[in-house]
Amino acid sequence: MQRLQVRPVSTAEADAMRADVLLYTRRTNEARALVDAVLRDDPQVALAHETMGNLHYRAGDLEGAKKWYRRR
């Protein structure tokens, strides 16, 4: 039997998760505003970089997406 491991997440990490959900539910403007705030407050949150890359990708900006994906 495998046990799950849990750990507390920071507010920035939780907000990055929320931004990712907002993006996937097509609430793009809200996702961008939230991920911008996360990156301003804690630029080390990897999921925020991935979400920003996804925002650029969905907008057809492949070079912008690559830039954000590389920052992870």
pLDDT in tens, 2-57: 899 999 999 999 999 999 999 999 999 999 999 999 999 999 999 999 999 999 99
Residue-wise pLDDT tens digits, 1-15:
889 999 999 999 999
CA distances from 30 to 24, 27, 37, 53, 56 (A): 11, 6, 11, 15, 14
The pTM is what?
0.86
Query: In the chain, where are the structural domains located?
Result: 11-70
Give the E-state strand segments of the chain in sequence order. Answer: none
CATH number for the domain running over 11-70: 1.25.40.10
